[in-house]
Amino acid sequence: MNWQKLDRTETAKIIQRVGQTPDGALFSSTTSEATVAELPFYRGIMLLRLTNYATLPSFSLDFLSDGTSFYLLDGSPGPIQKVAARGALNLTERNVADYVDFFFRHVTTEEGDIYLIRDPDTLPFLDSLSLDQQIQIKRRHSEVTSAYNRDDDTFSVQADLYFAGTLLKATLTVQADGGIEVSNHAMLLGDQGRDGNGNGAHTGRM
């Protein structure tokens, strides 16, 4: 993700506006930095990161923002759903995987953390696995693919996931409003699906 640092004037304006939210008091224009990044699946919405360097260690909060409204990414799906309800979500076959990756990075589900595995070498827990497991993961890893389903206006994403403590090959159905459902097809390090029949479990909408 390409972050762009805002100058002092723009940072002060942003902090003044964020100051009207419950989390705004945590930042000061003299001790904080603002950076923004574009998200390919949103229209008119940027990812804003405010970092407070007055504390040790420093801390950051991320927001979705159009420059006027600010939605704190607090680990729940609510902020992402609110932005989608505004009509700002613009999913395509080219960016839907980026959206899924973004969603899982910023939302903690009932199943816990979920990682979209694009590169096995970036798995945070790879070193904790045996050498044989590491080799198997890299050998069986598949590139993320996506397709648009015109009949029901959804996207299908085929990907490897770290899901509920398990490595899976899964199908994700992404609704036009950003809702995600996961179908577990097969264990990444085994031949059977999680239900023992190769079909895997199905989660509810996220």
Please name which of 157, 159, 156 lies closest in space to residue 143, comparing C-alpha atoms: 159
Measure the CA–CA gap between 97 and 30, rounded to whole angstroms. Answer: 37
Nearest of 174, 176, 181 to residue 203 by alpha carbon: 181
Count other C-beta atoms under 10 Å from residue 129's C-beta. Answer: 15
Residue 108 φ then ψ, to 5°: -95, 120
160 CB contacts (<8 Å, ≥6 apart)?
A: 116, 117, 120, 141, 142, 144, 167, 168, 169, 170, 188
- In a structure prediction context, what are the per-residue pLDDT tens digits for the chain, which is 206 residues long? 799 999 999 999 999 999 877 777 789 989 999 999 999 999 999 999 999 999 899 999 999 999 999 999 999 999 999 999 999 999 999 999 999 999 999 999 887 889 999 999 888 778 888 888 888 889 999 999 999 999 999 999 999 998 877 889 999 999 999 999 998 678 887 643 444 334 455 566 67
How much is the pTM?
Answer: 0.87
For residue 166, the one-letter residue type is: T
Count CB neighbours of 43 within 10 A: 11
In three-state form (DSSP H/G/I as H, E/B as E, the rest C), the secondary structure along 17-67 is: HHCCCCCHHHCCCCCEEEEEEECCCECCCEEEEEEECCCCCCEEEEEEECC
Question: What is the rounded distance in angstroms from the CA atom of residue 72 to the CA atom of residue 102?
Answer: 14
φ, ψ dihedrals at 188, nearest 5°? -65, -30
Query: What local confidence, expressed as pLDDT, does residue 204 receive?
Result: 61
* Among candidate residues 53, 57, 20, 55, the one with its CA nearest the CA of residue 35: 53
